[in-house]
Amino acid sequence: MISRRQILQLACCGGGLAFGPFGRLGFRTFGAMSAFAQTTADYRALVCVFLFGGNDGNNLIVPMDTASYDAYQQIRGSLALASSSLLPVTAKTGGRGFGFHSKLANVQKLFGSGQAAVVANVGTLVKPLTRNEYLGGNTTVPSNLFSHSDQQLQWQASISAQNGTGWGGRVADKVAWMNAPATFPTFLSVAGNAMLGQGGDTQPATVSPGQPLNLTGFHGTPADNARMLALQQLLTLDTGAALVQQASGTMQRGLTDSATLEKALDGAPALATAFPTTSIGAQLQQIAQVIQVRNELGMRRQIFFCSLGGFDTHTAQLNSQDSLFAQLDAAMGAFVSATQELGVEQSVTLFTESDFCRTLQPNTNGGTDHAWGSHHVVVGGAVKGGDVYGTFPQLALGGPDDAGSAGRWIPTTALDQYGATLASWFGVATADLAYVFPNLANFPASNVGFLG
Amino acid sequence: MRPIRLTVLTVCALAALRAQNSPTVTPGAAARFLDQAAWGATPADIAHLQQVGFDAWLNEQFAMPPSAIPDVPDPIKSLNSVRQQFFVNAVSGRDQLRQRVAFALGEIWVVSNVKLKSPAIPPYLRLLSDRAFGNYFDLMNAVTLSPAMGHYLDMVNNDKPADGQEANENYARELNQLFTIGTVLLNPDGTVQTDGSGRPVPAYDQSVVQAFARAFTGWTYAPLPGAQPRRHNPPNWDAPMVAVEANHDENAKALLNGQTLPAGQTAEQDLHQALEIVFQHPNVGPFVCQQLIQHLVTSNPSPAYVQRVAAVFANNGSGVRGDLKAVIRAILLDQEARSGDPPAVPAANEGHLREPAFYVPALLRGLGASVAVDNTLPQFIAKQGQTLYAPPSVFSYFSPGYRIADGKLLGPEFQIQSPSVSMLRADMVNALVNGGIKGVTFDQTPFTSLAAMPDSLLDYLSALLFHGQMPDDMRATIKTAMAAAPTGAMKARAAIYLAASSSQYQVER
């Protein structure tokens, strides 16, 4: 048997063929052995859990003071969660009482132990915005609000005008030097291509959980080795056709990165932490396994992307969100346990993103429609947890936070501020934040304060 | 010169490919046309197309009856057999163009087994197949009232809102955003209209979405045969939805561009007029035609190409708007689609990545493989990010606006072509050449018989998969690998594996 890694080495060293793109393979040799000397304190990871479809944050966390809960219950009607079902917590700052959705028991527990926080009413913005300004129309707002595709991209890019890069990739651009001489990409998605991870220089890696890392059908015979060399050489041919080059580049990165990862994972013990056998469980398990071999990869900074879909609850929201939150909470709970098992709980911060929030007012089908600012969860040992950051919206139709009359919250914390808080903790220098979040200077604070 | 042990089949196939029956259609041009208008080329189809020419071939295809789409077997209620039949129809069905167009329409007018129960899907697939060559307005009406779409985007049982509620906006929003108009105003050539500050001009605002939502209230499933009609009937996937006037919002609705539905109209009047207003919006032609071009021909059509086709959408020459037959003919016979036909070379940015559901049948057709109903191909393309009839959301598997890493060129299909998926594609080819795909019969004799003559084998592969234009450096590379393989069968397998998994094949140009 010969592994693809060995064949790639063959490609680098033998045959007299020109394998330019493989020159950056940089197999971990003696230089990378110093990685083992790195302490856990040198390691930081961000884990984005993207909730596709637009999660209804209004039922993720509910204010429990009498006036707020009454307003919530009155407007939500049949979608109001019973106060007795909510999992109570108290915000450290100000002592306001809130209740988490009943399926978020792990989140409640982590909030209580100071390892989870909520950031209230976060969303896409170009600059701070009031209801009057929005309704007046004579101001700059993100393009195509309430549209899934546009808002998904803006949550990943931080800007309306797409230039093909995401804020996670731009963060990676600025911290990549910390990973040198490791060659594994700073950004890894276990949920397919994600614009979040595309940087100016950064090209994200992907892994398909449950699928083999290496190409099948190569068994180390001379004929197989010649075929592998030919496959690699075909990827380097200049066809002059942009889409062909894109396809070749994609597969080259796949071959290179999975060879690196395969070698790092080789012989790693299985995690003791059991993960749920859901899609999001398998994704977070895969991420934990990669974090486990961070030293073998020589990584000091990593950003991960995973996702859970199905949050577009226009109909029968209560049942759908119950099921989705149960999956999410169980997988997140297992992931936190795994970070503890690996001794990196202080070094790993998980955060949620989603297209948008949903209307506080229900529609005719026991569901809700597309809205704007939402509440998001951050989890990890470095989080200054047990608190609700930002400003919780006033739950009133047509109230000061409503973009219209159905409870679509105009964000009071920009995604840029949320992301910049994560990026600053991760190691992006203050001077580099403008590269990552071009609109950040439009907002009064660049740090929301939920990370130390 | 020629190898001695050629099989009869191979000789015939090569002869067919070299035939010059038509002075205008070369074998390479025919093969390339079949990559755009069919699920890829076969030697027989190349020969036939050369014989009749593009125009007559299109007329034949327009007249071809649809391949059968089975119901889900009761009581299994799984879509697997419908997915398996997709490959049988794609590889050997005669209605190639209809299948390609219906599949493209299904990636615009998306429903998904992620939310819909399996029995809802086959009637919807037949609806698309039956209307692939019809009028776009008829398609809009049929889909809007289809129970599958009604359930998928929640128009079914969307009643007039009670106090403290809103009408469900799901179908109202996506009908406009994804199926007809898009979010921003377009020029006749598909480029985006901008205001004085260079910002795109929105095509509508939130109030318009809410008005459409109310216009579409008052519909439920058709009563099951023999059942008493109710205000909310139970699911019936075999008949269009029916109106229940008591559930319809009768207030006036301000729709697009200041056009208003007056108060007091019935559900049917509101629906028909609302769809007419959408259909007449000038965005529809460029918006829909650009996507159909992307599905069939190229990810990056020039604005002029889009404009020529959109003009045909607006008027088929007989004053009819939305004639899909005319639109398809315009797309496939446009100078931009045909200018890259061999012996010419496609422009640098021409073409598109084959999505998995196109990659697999095209490869099987090109290589002369056959597919039995009981096959495992659906699982292979599911791993490649395309579980048939179950895209993750109404935004389908990939977005028509997805850009490749250079940030400039569109490459919709690349959205699901991650680095790891690109390797799984090669693994599928490995399974194919090594006989590891259940239900696929792939006789490699024609290839093995040429293995001793690498140039002949590469000519053959080039004719079958590369429109006769496999690049010289690629041929040289594959020959090196063939030389290292000890047996004829292994040489043939190496050549097929490398050719079929190559980027040059995966990107259809």
**Do B128 and B138 touch, CB atoms closer than 8 A?**
no
| DSSP 3-state of A205 | strand
Point out the residue among A211, A234, A404 whose CB comes nearest to the CB of B498.
Answer: A234
Average pLDDT of A100-117? 98
Phi and psi at B69, nearest 5°, equal -115, 120
Identify any residues that bridge with A349 across adjacent strands, giving them in sequence order. Answer: A46
Band of residue B2 on the pLDDT scale cut at 50, 70, 90: very low
**A33–B contact, CB cutoff 8 A:** no
A251, A280, A319, A405, best to mutate vs chain B, most B CBs in 10 Å? A251
Question: Is pLDDT above 50 for A1?
Answer: no
Q: Which residues of A touch B502 (CB under 8 A)?
A: 234
DSSP type of residue A312: -
Only one residue has tokens 């996702």, namely A307
Which of A2, A250, A280, A355 would best serve as a mutation to test chain B binding (most B beta carbons within 10 A)? A250
The chain-wide mean pLDDT, for chain A, equals 91
What's the token pair of residue A348? Answer: 């790993």
pLDDT in tens, B285-318: 999 999 999 999 999 999 999 999 999 999 999 9
CA A128 to chain CA centroid, nearest Å? 24
Q: Angle at the Cα of B97 (from B440 to B79), degrees rounded to 5?
A: 50
A208 contacts B471? CB cut-off 8 A: no
Contacts of B431 in chain A (CB under 8 A): 216
Q: How far is CA A129 from the centre of its chain?
A: 26
Burial class (CB in 10 A: 0-12, 13-18, 19+), B302: middle
Answer whether B150's CB lies under 8 Å from A315's CB: no
Q: A449 in a domain, yes or no?
A: no
What is the band of B24 on the pLDDT scale with cuts at 50, 70, 90?
confident
pLDDT grade for A138, boundaries at 50, 70 and 90: confident
Residue A337, domain extent = 44-215+260-442
**Given this model, what pLDDT does residue A242 score?**
95
Question: ∠ at Cα A422 (A131, A444), nearest 5°?
Answer: 40
A-facing residues of B in 150-189 (CB < 8 A) are 153-154, 157-162, 164-170, 173, 177, 183-184
Q: Which of B509, B452, B437, B445 is nearest to B486 (CA)?
A: B452
Over residues B259-284, the pLDDT tens digits come to 999 999 999 999 999 999 999 999 99
DSSP calls for B327-384: HHHHHHHSHHHHTT-TTS---TT--EEPPHHHHHHHHHHHHT-EE-SS--HHHHHHHT
Which of chain A's residues have a Cβ under 8 Å away from the Cβ of B196? none
Instruction: Detail the DSSP E strand segments found in A58-144.
Output: 61-63, 87-90, 97-100, 116-123
Work out the pLDDT band at A430, boundaries 50, 70, 90: very high
Portion 453-472 of B in contact with A at CB < 8 A: 471
* CATH code, A283: 3.40.720
Q: Which of B350, B393, B422 sits opposite A52 (nearest CB)?
A: B393
ipTM of the prediction = 0.94
CB neighbour burial string for A44-68, b if at least 16 within 10 angstroms, e if fewer? bbbbbbbbbbbbbbbbbbbbbeeeb
| Mean pLDDT across A169-183 | 97
Check B503 against A248: CB less than 8 A apart.
yes
A3 or A131, higher pLDDT: A131
Which residue is associated with the tokens 């609806």? B127
The predicted structure's pLDDT at residue A29: 33
| Residue B178 DSSP class | I
Closest chain A residue to the Cα of B500, Cα to Cα: A231
Chain B contact present for A77, CB below 8 A = yes
Q: Which among A241, A247, A361 is the nearest to B348, CB-wise?
A: A241
User: Chain B interface, mutation test: which of A170, A219, A364, most B Cβ atoms within 10 Å?
Assistant: A364
Find the mean pLDDT for residues B94-108: 98
Give the Cβ contact number of residue A380 at 10 Å: 27
- Smallest CA–CA distance, residue A282 to chain B, in Å, is 15
B253 backbone dihedrals φ, ψ, rounded to 5°: -135, 125
Kindly state whether A255 is in contact with chain B, defined as any CB-CB distance less than 8 angstroms: yes
Token code pair at residue A218: 């190569």
With residue B422 as reference, give the H or E element that holds it. helix B419-433
Q: How many domains does chain A have?
A: 1
- Choice between A18 and A131, residue whose per-residue pLDDT is larger: A131
Residue ranges of the domains in chain B? 8-63+444-508, 150-280
Q: Radius of gyration (Cα) for chain B, nearest Å?
A: 24
Q: Which residue of B has its CA nearest to A142?
A: B199
Pick from B159, B177, B481: CB nearest A226? B481
Cβ-Cβ contacts under 8 Å, A215 against chain B: 423, 426-427, 430
Residue A158 near chain B (CB below 8 Å):
no
